[in-house]
Amino acid sequence: MSTVDVAVCTCDTYLDERVGASFAQIKRCTRSKSNSAVMRAINEAVKAGLINIKMRGKRKIYVPTVKGTVYAAVDKEFGGCTRFVKAVIDEAIIWLHPDAFNCSSLVITSRYSEDEACRCLKLGILKLISNTLSGFEDRRLADSILIDEIYRVIGRLRKLLTSELALALATNGAKPAKPIHEAMREFRESEPECSNRFRKLKSWLSY
């Protein structure tokens, strides 16, 4: 059992129940039989800034930080390969052309600004992830909306990369083998409900 396992459990519980995870829930999630091993992993996760402690009445609950959410998502979607994910994230940022938009002052009033909202939402989340994987200690407590979006973005990148790699292998060289470029091209396309998610998450994002 690792500290990231604990972070994954707290994120999953938060998404399911909109509250943090109790000791018993983490123990059940990690399938550990040892109370001391679970407590040690929890304490190490707190020390590493992956989770933090909140009181709910008289009961301790454990909630994920931004850092913990990022590492949990990378663990679930890419098996913890942080260097590879960092490279993919940084490539995705370049493809979104960050200098072409003023995301900090974006006002959504039209279909055009809806497309901009998609770019700005993705760009903000990608930069948040990139900064975390670069070593920035973001110990703010994450909420369910942010956790869901970080999971969604990293999961989307994994699916696109997997699909493009499979296509490159299936065509046996008939198609130009640039799976990362093709995945990035598709990732930057507009998606439904971006403006609503952008409004809810704007306070978390910086450009």
Look at residue 110 in the predicted model and tell me its pLDDT: 56
Domains (range + CATH), the chain: 3-64 (1.10.10), 79-204 (no CATH)
CB distance 65 to 138 below 8 Å: yes
Helix (H, G, I), strand (E, B) or coil at 22: coil
The share of the chain scoring above pLDDT 90, in percent, equals: 57
The total number of residues written for the chain in this structure: 207
Cα separation of 207 and 201, whole Å?
13
Residue 168 has pLDDT above 80, yes or no: no
Cα separation of 143 and 157, whole Å?
22
Q: What is the mean pLDDT of residues 91-116?
A: 73
Look at residue 165 in the predicted model and tell me its pLDDT: 78
The residue ranking higher by pLDDT, 109 or 164, is 164
CB distance 27 to 35 below 8 Å: yes
Phi, psi torsion values for 39, nearest 5 degrees: -65, -40
Helix (H, G, I), strand (E, B) or coil at 92: helix
